[in-house]
Amino acid sequence: MTSLADLRKTYARGSLTKSAVKPDPIAQFRHWMDEALSAEVPEANAMTLATVGANGQPSARIVLIKGVDARGFVFFSNYESHKGRDLEANPRAALLFHWIELERQVRIEGRVEKLPQTESDAYYASRPLDSRIGAWASEQSHEISGRGTLVARAAKFTAQFGLNPPRPPHWGGYVVIPETVEFWQGRPSRLHDRIVYARQPDDSWRVARLAP
């Protein structure tokens, strides 16, 4: 087996400077996301979501971003899932995008709020029918006896709701309202470029370079 300690890669695809980034981190994120999509980075919309429970235990998983606007970064989930319980106890989170083909990362930290019900309703209605039924069928993060349980519950709710299931009350959206956003560009010799935005009390952004 190859020694993991011996695995190395030289990063040399690009650079990042304070003078090159946009004054607002949301605009800079949109720019980088557009470049990731244009480069056909696999699942460029996938992000790591890290939360901390009431017991202080951190937990991380991959979820999909479903929107970004002036408020922040939007995703959807079951409010009664592991992440939902964490966010109920401690409404703060960290996000990480890793676009390895572009040798880039984006790190986001901030507080979390639930989306208005009307926004959750609208997104739920736009999903494929199987996904809408799945939101009812899966008691996310809870122990089940086997896959047959999921299949049976999906059949039950399909029969109950037909083609127009309503949004489950336990399912909806969150927005991560950023307090810091860091853009990381890999560079040779591990002298990576790191540009961080920090939200100020007046909601302006301070931009700084960090040592790698």
Write down the catalytic residue from 13, 190, 206, 209: 190
The alpha carbon dihedral of 184, 187, 190, 195 has a sign of negative
CB of 181 closer than 8 Å to CB of 96: no
DSSP alpha helix (H) spans, 138-197: 147-161
Cα–Cα distance between 98 and 69 in angstroms, integer?
Answer: 20
Cα–Cα distance between 210 and 44 in angstroms, integer?
Answer: 25
The alpha carbon dihedral of 70, 82, 78, 155 has a sign of positive
Please count the other Cβ atoms lying within 10 Å of the Cβ belonging to residue 73: 26
Cα–Cα distance between 17 and 134 in angstroms, integer?
Answer: 45
Question: Is 190 known to be catalytic?
Answer: yes
The set of catalytic residues is 190
